[in-house]
A and B are shown apart, each in its own frame.
Chain A
Amino acid sequence: MNRRNFLKTSAAVIPSTVALQMLGGGHWVLAQTADFKDDIDVLNYALTLEFLESEFYRQGNSANILRGQEAEYLRQIGADEDAHVQALSQTIMQLGGTPVAKPTVEFGDAFSSRQKFLTTSHTFENLGVSAYLGAAGSIKSKDVLQAAAGIFGVEARHAAVVGSILGLPAEGGVYMGPTETPKPRAEVLAAAKPFIKS
């Protein structure tokens, strides 16, 4: 099924040495300039992903499959994603743009068990981190950049904590190397596509 492809794709981790070579060599390429038309385009790209996450946690947290502190953490993560949707929508309108419509989404059996819920969450959060980093270089407004960076960091927090409560190995599970890895727009959208029905 599609979801399996999604998980497989996003599990491919670029070795940290590659990122560090980019860091040290001064040849860092954040994104193809052609990836985004303008800041509104970047913000709508981010909004689509945040809509996806927000709805994912709304459904997952109502499925009542987590207990105690885990449940509390995931509720906070869901609230953060809701806040990101709000902030991005407002910013798009302030810039004179039109926020994309909330997509219709389908998460398959992601809420059938604690393990599946958390594993899918972990994948979404790491995808979000890579998506924001991949888009950062296309952002022209300093204010938009500050906001996007601020959201990016929080997605990294989510990814780490979910990786930790899943009991994943520290390196490669909780942390993804000494630097975060950017993903280009096409790769991110291909990973998200199986969950978006329209």
Chain B
Amino acid sequence: MNDKDPSRTLFDGQGVIKFHSEVDRRRFLKYAGMVGVGSTLALTGVACGTDDNGGTAASPGATASPTGAAAKDADVGILNYALTLELLEAEFYRQGLAGNILSGRERELIQPIGQHEQAHVDALTKTIGDVGGTPAEKPEFQFPPGTFTDKAMFLKTASTLEELGVTAYHGQVTKIESPEILGAAASIAGVESRHAAILAALTGGKPFPAPVEASKDMQEVLDAAKPFIKS
């Protein structure tokens, strides 16, 4: 744990993501366990298992898949993981831009970010449907008081969220099987890097923290996000 640990800095550690059901919550949590094992656990919708053992075993409700389908299912799991993070970002900017804490060049720079996150939500949702998956439902988000009324708090949270998003995408680069989905995810990840750099510059942070983007695997991103997921 250090100062950069988003679980320490995001939303003061308060719960932010509230899933509609226990099944949705477990599905999101289980993405962390399915990396690289081709598990269909996170992709079976209501048939999700009830164990919390990291998802290396097949869900009771999952149909046995041939290798190609399992690979596709793993990609759908990654897309749904990305979708959940994009839903969080889109809602965050929607609420932030609805108020009047931003003006001038700051508003001009942040307004498109909100539009991009919504475009990512729409594109990921469509892509998941196109490949035969079920898009994750939008969770409920509860942001702590002050998030959208204190400009410094809003910008700092935005910066942390963008950096987390960048590391989340880069953590999946080698896990994605389909070249089409890899291309799509990469084309989004580059835009998240732009957002992260601009928000770092706006908040007096480091727009170029390293010559190569850092990456976090699902478990690490999950650890950062877990305190904000309401169960």
Contacts and interface: CB of A to CB of B under 8 A. Distances in A.
Contacts, number: 164
A63 to B, nearest CB: 21
Contact of A146 (B109, B120, B173, B194): B173
Contacts of A87: 211-212
Contacts of B109: 164, 170, 174
A151 B174 CA distance: 15
B187 interface: yes
Interface in A10-32: 16, 19-20, 22-30
Tell me if B's interface is mostly helix, strand, loop or mixed. helix
Given A146-B215, A170-B109, A174-B198, A26 B180 contact: yes
Give the size range of A's interface with the partner: 35 or more
A181 B210 CA distance: 23
Residue from the set A84, A157, A160, A161 with the largest chain B CB neighbour count within 10 Å: A157
B44 interface: no
Dominant SS among interface residues on chain A: helix
B71 to A, nearest CB: 14
B213 interface: yes
Contacts of B174: 142-143, 145-146
B208 A137 contact: no
Given A145-B173, A169-B108, A170-B112, 16 more contacts: A19-B187, A20-B123, A24-B122, A26-B130, A27-B180, A149-B186, A152-B189, A152-B190, A153-B212, A157-B194, A157-B207, A175-B194, A178-B123, A178-B188, A179-B190, A182-B187
